Structure 1
Amino acid sequence: MAVLLQIRDAVKSFGDQKLLDEASATIYDGVKVGFVGRNGAGKSTLLKALLAEEELDSGEIIRNPKLRVGYLRQHDPFLPGENALQFLMRDSGQPDWKCGEVAGEFEIKGAYLEGPISALSGGWQTRVKLAALLLHEPNLLLLDEPTNFLDLRTQILLEHFLKHFEEACLIVSHDRAFLGATCTQTLDLTRGKLTLYPGPIEDYLQYRDDRREHDERANAAVVAKQKQLQKFIDKNKARASTATRAKSKEKQLEKLQTVDIAADEPTPNMRAPIVTPRQGPAVRCMELAIGYGDYAVAKGINLEIDHGQRAAIVGDNGQGKTTLLRTIVDSLPPVSGEVRWGYGCEIGVYAQHVYSSLPPDQTVLEYLDRVAKPGTTTQEVLAGAGALLFRGGHVKKKVSVLSGGERARLCMAGLLLGTYNVLILDEPGNHLDVETVESLTSALLNYKGTVIFTSHDRHFMKNVATSVIEVRDGSARNYGGDYDAYVYAVNKEIEQGERELAAARKKLAGPPVEKLGKVAKPAVVKDERALRKEMTNLERTIAKLDQQKKDLNAQLLQSTDPKKALKLHEELTTVTEQLSNSEDRWCEIQADLEGWDV
């Protein structure tokens, strides 16, 4: 296995903070590595050093002469008025058919391929950038938080791409589900040191906890032994008869050393508002149409969310998830229909843009004191600030000097200091590191109020959601299954699309051709009549399965019973797979028959 990159004794400091402290690691050909560490640990700095965009203070990075790095660019590399196909051809120098073929792997087709890139959402533009990476044929991909702002479908498409990508990857991400699905090794950056673990993220986290527990037990045993030896020495060193033994014990004591265990880094400790549990509907949407002006993004929405539910709103980017949330909280007027809240609902909102609209001249303490519920003492405000890691002098910092992650934490602290019995959270995990998201998860699980939220973090969604609302194809409905069932369904849709693409390519390729241009005869000549008979039977089967699929879809849309909906979903999955297999076989027979007609 060839070495692609070697980091040797890397040192890098910014002011008094040492990000890399004689850090070393080796990246091998064909290995996918998940790169983890706390916010501000220095992961992005190391990536810049690997790309030769940042110089180390000391140490070296040794690159294989055959190294070809592909880096997922965060800025927009597109020209004004350019479409995706034009960009891919310009960026890669590849012909249009090759660019279209690679774009198809990310479902970039039709208007998405040939329409202006400026009209595409951020998630679709990321798909275009990924297709561009693949066209350059790199043997090492560097991806820095690739799942940020990507919807579930695009995340899964990226996972499928990485699973089939045979070259090496180094992926920075806080998304444990994504890293677990794509990476076989884990690189950790903590206190300037790099640790490369030969296993996936969950195994590494377990190893880290087990190792710490082992070291703590070993240290406790060493300390106990030290005390025992010291007691013997103190008692016997003055006696002539036992002085020699005491001297021996002193030598033993000198050899006993404890293992250095780094102190835990501070972690957030969020506490949700204490509210009285309520019964019945919290909010109803009746014949609701959402959108902008007279344009409806989705319509005919009839939803009911009960008190105590934690409802996750899911769907592809651009389908209207945030528009639905904004309409529910009345920050956006409905196109038509009505949103009706239950009696006594106090609504707290965390929106994607909130952290950027904080008053810049206020300090952390001044802001929290202003937004806290009436009667909150200064001590309670300080406790709320401390729970989100604003401690000591940090509470006197102006909002204007806070980082994006600190502003997000400040908004969350203000929200949790209120008395809200309904929380509306739009992408709460953005700009929060994994430890802060874990703390938020625990707080919401203990919360007795109602939560309506969107998120691209699958680990967070899976643990928090008790119900799922899907926004899709111009409407919104209660999804029959849980979040795992929804992820499974999206995965199957993508797999079906990949099978259809493979079948279409096979059909376009036609039968194998000999050097003289004639059709190669099969090794075993099939009976044409038998094939045509099989084809006729397949057409009947396809028609039958297609009708079954339509009927099951209709039943699933009308179902309100979760158990029945899950059963219908399983039946639909089976029928869809049978239909796909039948269509693939039909394409194979068609190709054979066309080959004979040449």
Structure 2
Amino acid sequence: MLEKMEEIVLPPDRRESMKNFHFPEGRRSGYCVVRLEKISKSYGDNVVYKDFDFEVLRGEKAVLVGENGAGKSTLLKILAGVVDIDKGRRYIGHNVDIGYFSQTRMEVLNPSHTVLEEALSSAKGQISTKDVRTILGAFLFCGDDVNKNVCVLSGGEKSRLILAKLLINPPNFLLLDEPTTHLDTDGVDALIKALKEYKGTIVFISHDIHFVRSVANVVYEVKNGNVRKFPGSFDYYWQKVKEGRIEEEEPPQEKRVPVEETKKEQDLPEVSLQEEKRKRREHNIKIANRIKKLKKKKEKLEIERFAKQRVISNPRHGEDVIRYYEILLKEIEEKIVKIDEEINLLNSQFL
């Protein structure tokens, strides 16, 4: 039976269809997009923010960075207005329209709609059905997939649909929590293209270093209930962090240690500095190459997953065949999750 199965026609490279597409622009907001004044937020005995001030300005494409548990997601939710603050005030600027993406916010989808119907509900006549299909294709909804009911989509598929809806009719203030998690390489590239062209304001969280470097023009470091602002690229921020760590790691002057241990970096011979830079560069290249290989592997798995989903969604195949392909699909999805976890770990190891 498997030998007689219909040939699966895989989708073409979606980068070509996205190349000349331009996402619609929202209305222009006021200069101050959102301001927090003396806000406090706790979860039980865990005080996340206390008497905290913060503001986001028009045109910022800001990434929130910090250790796990530092309060990045909480800050994003406060900015979006999806969690209550214990005290203080949150001001929304003039003409600000908010769009918030999180992998857990599935209630924004209508389960009775098809994928295409749900996407068109965001278009509101501003872009054509063809362009809507182009965007959906960039997020792995190709061919008959657009006719699937929302209620049968997996969690990853729902996340991609929510993200596609935000780009079909983008508000002028986007808040994105790990937007690249369920995207393949072409999907990430399409999202980067959209956000680089986007004229509004963005605050986002991501462990995808390529995505962060491509999109962010401001870095906000979240630490100990406070936020430090670093205007400029992520690489500029990371250089400042390394400089700060060098200063912090210098031994106190009163501590008696051998002379060679007290030398500062600028006192070291030039050859030592060059050797250190060479080792750091080689380390980062190894990580980048490993991530590149993993992304290629993930992309192949995404294509396999697409093919399996096409078989499963075709009622002409018998129950035994569908059950067999469901097992294969589950194995593929588990492999993709493991790859995502390894990529996130590698991204945290850049020097």
Normalising by the residue count of structure 2, what TM-score does the alignment of the two structures yield? 0.62
Greater relative CO (CA pairs within 8 A, separation 6+): 2
Aligned residues of 2:48 and 2:71 also touching (Cα < 8 A): yes
Does residue 266 (structure 1) correspond to residue 17 (structure 2)? The answer is no
Aligned residues of 1:469 and 1:478 also touching (Cα < 8 A): yes
Does residue 304 (structure 1) correspond to residue 52 (structure 2)? The answer is no
Aligned residues of 1:372 and 1:417 also touching (Cα < 8 A): yes
Secondary structure, aligned partner of 2:229: strand
Which residue of the partner structure matches residue 578 of structure 1? Answer: 250
CA distance in 2, matches of 1:337, 1:348: 23
Secondary structure, aligned partner of 2:81: coil
* 1:393 Cα deviation after fit: 1.8
Which residue of the partner structure matches residue 317 of structure 1? Answer: 68
Aligned residues of 1:470 and 1:476 also touching (Cα < 8 A): yes
Seen in structure 2, the aligned counterparts of structure 1 residues 480 and 412 have a Cα distance that, compared at 3 Å, is closer
Structure 1 unaligned residues grouped into runs of 5+: 1-12, 19-190, 192-262, 493-569, 590-598
Equivalent position amino acid for 1:367 in 2: E
Seen in structure 2, the aligned counterparts of structure 1 residues 272 and 319 have a Cα distance that, compared at 3 Å, is farther
| Cα deviation code 1:287-307 (max 9, x no counterpart) | 222333675312232222111
Does residue 422 (structure 1) correspond to residue 173 (structure 2)? The answer is yes
Does residue 413 (structure 1) correspond to residue 164 (structure 2)? The answer is yes
| Cα deviation code 1:140-176 (max 9, x no counterpart) | xxxxxxxxxxxxxxxxxxxxxxxxxxxxxxxxxxxxx
CA distance in 1, matches of 2:260, 2:196: 52
- Percent identity over the alignment is 36
* 1:379 Cα deviation after fit: 4.7
Seen in structure 2, the aligned counterparts of structure 1 residues 356 and 284 have a Cα distance that, compared at 3 Å, is closer
Counterpart among 421, 429, 433 of residue 184 in structure 2: 433
Counterpart among 97, 102, 107 of residue 351 in structure 1: 102
CA distance in 1, matches of 2:226, 2:123: 37
CA distance in 2, matches of 1:385, 1:403: 16
Rg larger for? 1
* 1:376 Cα deviation after fit: 5.6
Seen in structure 2, the aligned counterparts of structure 1 residues 394 and 288 have a Cα distance that, compared at 3 Å, is same
* 1:584 Cα deviation after fit: 9.3
Secondary structure, aligned partner of 2:188: helix
CA distance in 1, matches of 2:255, 2:123: 61
Question: 1:347-426 to 2 correspondence within 5 Å?
Answer: 347-355=98-106, 358-373=109-124, 378-426=129-177
CA distance in 1, matches of 2:254, 2:232: 27
Aligned residues of 2:220 and 2:230 also touching (Cα < 8 A): yes
Which residue of the partner structure matches residue 280 of structure 1? Answer: 31
* Larger CA deviation: 432-441 vs 575-584: 575-584
Does residue 469 (structure 1) correspond to residue 141 (structure 2)? The answer is no
Which residue of the partner structure matches residue 105 of structure 1? Answer: none
* 1:466 Cα deviation after fit: 0.9
Seen in structure 2, the aligned counterparts of structure 1 residues 464 and 433 have a Cα distance that, compared at 3 Å, is same
Secondary structure, aligned partner of 2:41: strand
Question: 1:121-132 to 2 correspondence within 5 Å?
Answer: none
| Cα deviation code 1:11-57 (max 9, x no counterpart) | xx9x7689xxxxxxxxxxxxxxxxxxxxxxxxxxxxxxxxxxxxxxx
CA distance in 2, matches of 1:286, 1:381: 39
Does residue 478 (structure 1) correspond to residue 150 (structure 2)? The answer is no
CA distance in 1, matches of 2:246, 2:48: 32
Secondary structure, aligned partner of 1:317: coil
RMSD: 3.6
Structure 2 unaligned residues grouped into runs of 5+: 262-351
CA distance in 1, matches of 2:105, 2:122: 13
Counterpart among 190, 203, 209 of residue 452 in structure 1: 203
Equivalent position amino acid for 1:478 in 2: K
Normalising by the residue count of structure 1, what TM-score does the alignment of the two structures yield? 0.38
Secondary structure, aligned partner of 2:250: helix
Equivalent position amino acid for 1:363 in 2: T
Which residue of the partner structure matches residue 595 of structure 1? Answer: none
| Cα deviation code 1:64-110 (max 9, x no counterpart) | xxxxxxxxxxxxxxxxxxxxxxxxxxxxxxxxxxxxxxxxxxxxxxx
* 1:454 Cα deviation after fit: 0.6
* 1:328 Cα deviation after fit: 1.0
Question: 1:37-76 to 2 correspondence within 5 Å?
Answer: none
Aligned residues of 2:62 and 2:204 also touching (Cα < 8 A): yes
CA distance in 2, matches of 1:304, 1:588: 45
Equivalent position amino acid for 2:51 in 1: G
Question: 1:204-215 to 2 correspondence within 5 Å?
Answer: none
Equivalent position amino acid for 1:423 in 2: L
Equivalent position amino acid for 1:306 in 2: L
Moved over 6 A (4+): 15-18, 580-584, 586-589
* 1:456 Cα deviation after fit: 0.8
Equivalent position amino acid for 2:14 in 1: P
* 1:587 Cα deviation after fit: 12
Question: 1:552-591 to 2 correspondence within 5 Å?
Answer: 570=243, 572-579=244-251, 585=257
CA distance in 1, matches of 2:28, 2:110: 33
Secondary structure, aligned partner of 1:585: coil
Which residue of the partner structure matches residue 329 of structure 1? Answer: 80
* 1:283 Cα deviation after fit: 1.2
Equivalent position amino acid for 2:173 in 1: V
Aligned residues of 1:302 and 1:477 also touching (Cα < 8 A): no
* 1:348 Cα deviation after fit: 1.0
CA distance in 2, matches of 1:361, 1:380: 23
Which residue of the partner structure matches residue 278 of structure 2? Answer: none
Equivalent position amino acid for 1:316 in 2: E
Question: 1:74-89 to 2 correspondence within 5 Å?
Answer: none
Equivalent position amino acid for 1:578 in 2: E
CA distance in 1, matches of 2:153, 2:256: 56
